Amino acid sequence: MNIRYSARARTQIGLIHEFIAERNVAAATAVIAHIRKAVHLLASSPRLGRITDEKDVRMLVVSRFPFVVFYTVRNDEILVMNVRHTSQDR
């Protein structure tokens, strides 16, 4: 199954990296790699995330870090719609 990131998700990932990199560049790179690794799991298990109140939108909690990935499954593609820190409002 293909994985595609929306422009919004790509922007959010960039902002997450930028924020953490202000303190520790290596940590920022590690956090982003961990988020991408979690998303990669969806390719083989697209229903891994929890169902949300939004129609056809699922939420994957990233272990070890306080981030959630919102995504939808369309045909043979997973669209990552947003990546957010858990302290942000939905």
The answer to whether residue 11 is domain-embedded is: yes
Q: Which residues pair with 78 in a beta bridge?
A: 3, 73
Q: Quick check: 85 and 66 in contact, CB under 8 A? A: yes
Q: Does 90 fall in a domain?
A: no
pLDDT of residue 49: 95
Question: What does the pLDDT read at residue 57?
Answer: 97
- What pLDDT is attached to residue 89? 61
Q: How confident is the model at residue 87 (pLDDT cuts 50, 70, 90)?
A: confident
Instruction: With a cut of 70, say whether residue 90 has pLDDT above it.
Output: no
Flag whether 17 is in a domain: yes
Torsion angles phi and psi, residue 33, rounded to 5? -60, -40
- List the structure tokens of 39: 């998303």
Q: Considering the entire predicted model, what is its pTM? A: 0.92
CATH number, domain with residue 36: 3.30.2310.20
Domain count, the chain: 1
Range of the domain at 31: 2-85
